[in-house]
Amino acid sequence: MKAPPKASDVAEIKPEQLLEADGFVFGFPSRFGVMAAQCKAFFDATDDIWKKQALAGKPAGIFWSTGFHGGGQELTALTAITQLAHHGMIYVPLGYTFGSGMFEMIEVKGGSSYGAGTYAADGSRVPTELELQQAFHQGKYVAEIAKKLKN
């Protein structure tokens, strides 16, 4: 799919490792407005966890990368929510908690109230500083909610 090979220092998570977390921020590339098939296959492999509803009540956010403006940024988030719902996870949208960064109109910026995002173009575009700040904010935001729920 024209993606570069996975870097050797990137670990692969197994579905059972999800049980160790108090919350999640799932990120994936979009293919035609939905998560890439490899990501869907990962969620498909969580059926044993799903049967036990072992992830129910855990908060989860979503972020993504699309090729261009019409690449399905918000649709990717909306279709990914089905995975969270079946597990009983609590979807944590970004909302407009990123403040003025949500209203940026001068530079190209991915993401929305559903989560952080970036435009990858043909794979050569890297996230802007603003997109990285939005992603960092989202991670911190979901972590704060996970901490509140755990306590």
DSSP state for residue 60 in the 8-state scheme: E
pLDDT tens for each residue of the chain, 151 residues long: 666 788 899 888 999 999 999 999 999 898 888 998 989 999 999 999 999 999 999 999 999 999 887 778 889 999 999 999 999 999 999 999 999 999 988 998 999 999 999 998 888 889 999 999 999 999 999 999 999 999 8
Residue 14 CB contacts under 8 Å (≥ 6 apart), including other chains: none
Judge contact between 16 and 47, C-beta under 8 A. Answer: no
Fold of 21-149: Rossmann fold (3.40.50)
For the chain, strand residue ranges (E) read: 24-31, 34-35, 59-66, 90-91, 117-119
Judge contact between 102 and 11, C-beta under 8 A. Answer: no
Judge contact between 36 and 1, C-beta under 8 A. Answer: yes
Pairing status of strand 59-66 against strand 117-119: parallel
Report pTM.
0.91
Q: 42: which 2 tokens?
A: 């990962």
**Which among 65, 77, 80, 72 is positioned nearest to 128, based on CA atoms?**
65
